[in-house]
Structure 1
Amino acid sequence: MPALNITFTDEEHRALREAAERENVSLRTFVHDAVVEAARSRKHVRDEILARINDKSAELHRRLA
């Protein structure tokens, strides 16, 4: 399974560890889930933007035809 080695400042690491403790999960699980969710969220936003662009383009093409 692929793995990443990510460097954090002491302050960032402390904040992540505290957040993981509040969620009652390991630091590894917390960071993994946060990264996966961020990637999914960004893809969702990108997909919505592209859909709006396609809708506007289709409308423009209809007007020009």
Structure 2
Amino acid sequence: MPALNIDFTEEELTLVRSAASDSGASMRAFAKQAILDKASDREGRVRALAQQIAERSAELNQRLA
């Protein structure tokens, strides 16, 4: 299975370790879920922005058609 190594400062690692502990997850599971959540959120934001652009430009697109 492919893997990903990420370098953290001591402060960043302390923050991640604390957040993982608070959530009851291992650091690996916490980091993986955080990355997947962020990636999924990005796709949703892109779709939402595309929809906003389509709505804002609908009138102009009608006139240009």
TM-score, normalised by the number of residues in structure 2: 0.87
1:55 shift after superposition = 2.5
CA separation in 2, counterparts of 1:16 and 1:28? 10
Superposition deviation, residue 34 in structure 1: 0.4
Superposition TM-score, scaled by structure 1 size: 0.87
Could you tell me the percent identity over the aligned residues? 42
RMSD: 1.3
Matches within 5 A, 1:21-60: 21-60=21-60
Distance in structure 2 (CA, Å) of the matches to 1:59 and 1:8: 48
Hey, what does 1:14 align to over in structure 2?
14
| Unaligned segments of structure 1, at least 5 residues | none
State how many pairs are aligned: 65
Deviation at 1:56, TM superposition (A): 2.7
Q: Spell out structure 1 runs of 4+ moving beyond 4 A.
A: none
Structure 2 CA distance for aligned equivalents of residues 63 and 50 of structure 1: 20
